[in-house]
Amino acid sequence: MEKTLSIIKPDGVKKKIIGSILSRFEISGFEIVNIKLIKLTKDQASSFYEMHKGKPFFENLVDFMTSGPCIPFVVEGVDSIKSVREMMGSTNPDEAASGTIRSDFADSIDSNIIHGSDSKESADREIAFFFEYLGLK
């Protein structure tokens, strides 16, 4: 059993596909063990994505992630980190395998519906970020 952090990004909330996205994880046998709706501040979004600071897309990413409420949630299950990444599909929806969340719902690489932790270290840090540091316990 393993936990990972996923986020329905502001475009997913605006498109009213919260239920469709969460359903995919439930149907696939995963448990959603924590969840919150939150509108991030620029400082919070910058801190969450600090590993991308200095990259050309960083400012745009922070603007996008603060453009409306998002939904961080914790997914628990066998091999959940890898499975959630597979269910999301590639960062660029044009390259995402058919049937993945990004292929089915995302408009572009900078508006790509969903986040998923990329490693155990990231998952631990990102779960703590939303559900401990930000006081969302």
Residue 109 binds to ligand UDP (criterion: CB under 6 A)? yes
Residue 110 binds to ligand UDP (criterion: CB under 6 A)? yes
* Residues tagged active-site: 115
Q: How far is the CB of 15 from Mg ion (least distance, A)?
A: 21
Residue 119 binds to ligand UDP (criterion: CB under 6 A)? no
DSSP codes of every residue in the chain:
-EEEEEEE-HHHHHTT-HHHHHHHHHHTT-EEEEE--B---HHHHHHHTGGGTTSTTHHHHHHHHTSS-BEEEEEEETTHHHHHHHHH--SSGGGSPTTSHHHHH--BTTB-SEEE-SSHHHHHHHHHIIIIITS--
Judged by CB under 5 A, the stretch of 2-10, 34-42, 57-65, 111-119 that binds Mg ion is 111-119
For ligand UDP, give the closer residue by CB, 41 or 60.
60
Per CB under 6 A, residues contacting ligand UDP are 52, 57, 60-61, 91, 109-110, 112, 115, 118
Per CB under 5 A, residues contacting Mg ion are 118
